[in-house]
Amino acid sequence: MDPTQRRQPTIGDAQRALAEHFGYQSFRPGQRRVIEAILEGHDVMAVMPTGAGKSVCYEVPAVVLGGLTLVVSPLISLMADQVRALKEAGIRGSFYNSTLKPRVRPEVLRRALAGWYDLMYVAPERLSDPGFRAFAAAADIPLVAVDEAHCVSQWGQDFRPAYRSIQDFVDSLPNRPRVAALTATATARVQTDVRELLGLRDPVVEVSGFDRPNLSLASFELTPKDRERWTVNYARRHADESGIVYALTRKKVEQICEKLQDAGIKAASYHAGMSDKERTLSQEAFVNDDVQVMVATNAFGMGIDKSNVRYVINCGMPQSLEEYYQEAGRAGRDGDPAACYLLWSKGDIRTAHFFIDSIEFAEGVTPAEQRFLREQRERLLGEMIGYAMSTSCLRARVLRYFGQRMTLSADGCGGCSVCTGETAERYLRVERKRKAGGRVYGTRTSLDETSRHERENFSELADDVWVHDGTDEELFQRLRVLRKSLASEAKVPPYVIFSDRTLRAMVRRRPRTAEDLLEVPGVGEKKLERYGEAFLEELWR
């Protein structure tokens, strides 16, 4: 169909697509404005924190715009999983990157031209291929979405030179599509780079609030030995929950993983020293809930959509507050309460300075530019150190870094270790008592024992309140077992079937019919068709 003859979809069309494919009746804050701007033909710059649902901002338009939406993404290893997740939601997806065998690539492009797909993930390096450019010139492309858009900027922590080719690619197309740049973390300087280097034309800019009210934040100074013991202790007490532990070096990753395994905790490791196959197997084990804890360097995490990560522990200080908040933000993507702990020591600061001094620059970077970039990294590290040592609200400090103000009550945010007066010493003291008396830790803290911040967050989420009850917990675990079985059959991660949050809503609401089940947040028409009968049967058996 000639794109000029196509009816322009409305936000009402987008809302119907959201309900049908994702099971939600309304968009999250920020999503509606971004999607509405895209549908009206504008370029968009969207800065939304991890867990805010950035992907919906291009997935829903891909369904209603027609043609083929291209999503430029650096996450080559995850594209196949992303396509499978789209299929589960009833969206026709594909990918084009170096993992495709050469004989398969022409067939993928042929099918795309024939209208088989709504959306195609493409690695930025592919945009320079003459064959891909010829394909793109012949295709009907209404939207190019640039995921992880901060990768275009040398000021971002994940600079990827191939992103610099995106503007030239877009300008080479016979009909310029809308361009949507999306990122979870970007300072004002990075945002300026993104707009200029991607050639955005008078974009609608949506910078969502960076506050993640469901996340509690804590920063504790501990010796390396104490923080390893603390981490094992914490994972043992939260044995029914998924968590990520970050360490600064490959050696530390292996050490912590071994200590967790020795304590009877199912843990896997992930770092650049492992083979591609080993890393893939570890990642699959984690997202499929076959292991409880992933221990990793910062090589792990970008694009991981596992929604039920209940805690992230950093055993060591990251080099920037952006890097830390992105890693911490991988907790609680389902909106339920989650905990983020920074466990640091003075030695981490020395290590970070060493890393900065050891940076290897690309060929052609002048000595003056090298000096300037090192000074920039030192400035970012200074902000990170300030957060770690802060005696004022951690949440307010993070938000201030990203240019957002926060009004605090008399007793602070109620959701960080500074405002609550929480110490690491308390956990270590409890651990010593446990060792002396042989006492085993119980399950997760009850609602009455949570912080004021968490209690307020629970009330805001109203329908999503989860209080442990024997019967409800037993049913919830049965639904998780069913989900795992169905996910194995479909060869997708369990959270792709339904999130933990959706399962909890099923337990609370006890839907009896397909119509009732469709009212549960996260249950769309496509998943109702595939899985509705199985879950209703389990709910009432």
Same domain, 199 and 255: no
Task: Answer yes or no: is pLDDT of 435 > 60.
Answer: no
Higher per-residue confidence, 173 vs 153: 173
Rounded CA-CA distance 320/401 in Å is 11
pLDDT digits 0-9 by tens, 100-121 = 888 999 999 999 999 999 999 9
145 domain residue, yes or no: yes
Q: Taking the CB of residue 25, how many other CB atoms lie within 10 A of it? A: 10
Pairing of strands 178-183, 143-146: parallel
SS3 of 362-387: the string is: CCCCCHHHHHHHHHHHHHHHHHHHHH
Same domain, 504 and 414: no
459 domain residue, yes or no: no
Same domain, 309 and 359: yes
Answer positive or negative: Cα dihedral of 398, 400, 404, 410: positive
Query: By the 8 A CB rule, do 317 and 386 touch?
Result: no
Closest CA to 497 of 241, 244, 242, 289: 289
Task: Answer yes or no: is pLDDT of 384 > 90.
Answer: yes
Residue type, 173: L
Same domain, 16 and 103: yes
Q: How many domains does the chain have?
A: 3
Query: Where does 263-309 have alpha helices with state H?
Result: 276-287
432 domain residue, yes or no: no
pLDDT digits 0-9 by tens, 27-50 = 987 899 999 999 999 999 999 877
Distance of CA 417 to the CA centre of its chain: 23
456 domain residue, yes or no: no
Same domain, 40 and 113: yes
Q: What are 193-198's contacts with CB under 8 Å, separation 24+?
A: 193/152, 193/153, 193/154, 193/155, 193/156, 194/45, 194/149, 194/150, 194/152, 194/153, 195/45, 197/152, 197/153, 197/163, 197/164, 197/167, 198/146, 198/149, 198/152, 198/166, 198/167, 198/170
Among 166, 184, 207, residue at a domain's last position:
207
Mean pLDDT of 9-13: 93
Same domain, 369 and 474: no
Strand, coil or helix: 45: strand
Query: What pLDDT does 437 receive?
Result: 46
Residue type, 99: T
Query: What pLDDT does 189 receive?
Result: 82
Residue 151 confidence class, pLDDT cut points 50, 70, 90: confident
3-state helix, strand, coil in the chain (%, to 5): 50, 15, 35
For the ranges 29-38, 58-67, 442-451, the lowest mean pLDDT is seen at 442-451
Higher per-residue confidence, 425 vs 481: 481
Burial (CB count within 10 angstroms: exposed 0-12, middle 13-18, buried 19+), residue 216: buried
Task: Answer yes or no: is pLDDT of 450 > 50.
Answer: no
- Which range of 7-11, 64-68, 82-86 scores highest in mean pLDDT? It is 64-68
Same domain, 203 and 231: no
The CATH number of residue 33's host domain is 3.40.50.300
Same domain, 235 and 199: no
For every residue of 424-480, DSSP letters joined together read HHHHHHHHHHHHHHTPPP-SSPPGGGS-HHHHHHHHHHGGG-----HHHHHHHHHHH
Same domain, 360 and 484: no
Rounded CA-CA distance 256/241 in Å is 18
The CATH number of residue 479's host domain is 1.10.150.80
Closest CA to 49 of 419, 344, 401, 386: 401
What is the residue-averaged pLDDT of the chain? 86
Among 207, 225, 240, residue at a domain's last position:
207
Query: What pLDDT does 533 receive?
Result: 95
Mean pLDDT of 194-212: 90
Query: What pLDDT does 3 receive?
Result: 58
Query: What pLDDT does 425 receive?
Result: 65
Task: Answer yes or no: is pLDDT of 404 > 90.
Answer: no
Strand, coil or helix: 121: strand
- Which range of 83-97, 349-363, 432-446 scores highest in mean pLDDT? It is 83-97
Pairing of strands 119-122, 293-296: unpaired
Query: What pLDDT does 443 receive?
Result: 27
Phi, psi of 103 (to 5 degrees): -75, -20
Query: What pLDDT does 107 receive?
Result: 93
For the ranges 29-43, 162-176, 416-430, the lowest mean pLDDT is seen at 416-430
User: Hey, what are 55's tokens?
Assistant: 């992907």
Rounded CA-CA distance 87/98 in Å is 21
Rounded CA-CA distance 507/309 in Å is 20
What is the model's pTM?
A: 0.77
Rounded CA-CA distance 166/145 in Å is 10
147 domain residue, yes or no: yes
Query: Where does 288-358 have alpha helices with state H?
Result: 321-328, 346-357
Percent of the chain with pLDDT over 90: 57
Task: Provide the strand spans (E) within 184-285.
Answer: 204-207, 215-221, 242-247, 267-270
Same domain, 196 and 232: no
For the ranges 250-254, 371-375, 397-401, the lowest mean pLDDT is seen at 371-375
Query: By the 8 A CB rule, do 39 and 116 touch?
Result: no
Closest CA to 343 of 246, 497, 227: 227
Same domain, 68 and 189: yes
Strand, coil or helix: 204: strand
Task: Answer yes or no: is pLDDT of 138 > 90.
Answer: yes
SS3 of 464-505: the string is: HCCCCCHHHHHHHHHHHHHHHHHHHHHCCCHHHHCCHHHHHH
* Domain of 136, in residue numbers: 3-207
Query: What pLDDT does 2 receive?
Result: 58
Query: By the 8 A CB rule, do 344 and 313 touch?
Result: no
- Which range of 27-36, 299-308, 438-447, 463-472 scores highest in mean pLDDT? It is 27-36
Among 207, 228, 257, residue at a domain's last position:
207
17 domain residue, yes or no: yes
338 domain residue, yes or no: yes
Query: Where does 114-153 have alpha helices with state H?
Result: 130-138
Rounded CA-CA distance 195/355 in Å is 30
Same domain, 236 and 271: yes
Rounded CA-CA distance 256/254 in Å is 6
Task: Answer yes or no: is pLDDT of 8 > 80.
Answer: yes
Query: What pLDDT does 184 receive?
Result: 80
Percent of the chain with pLDDT over 70: 89
Rounded CA-CA distance 93/220 in Å is 44
Query: By the 8 A CB rule, do 94 and 117 touch?
Result: yes
Strand, coil or helix: 209: coil
236 domain residue, yes or no: yes
Higher per-residue confidence, 32 vs 473: 32
Task: Answer yes or no: is pLDDT of 85 > 80.
Answer: yes
For the ranges 224-233, 271-280, 287-296, 297-306, the lowest mean pLDDT is seen at 297-306
Distance of CA 231 to the CA centre of its chain: 22
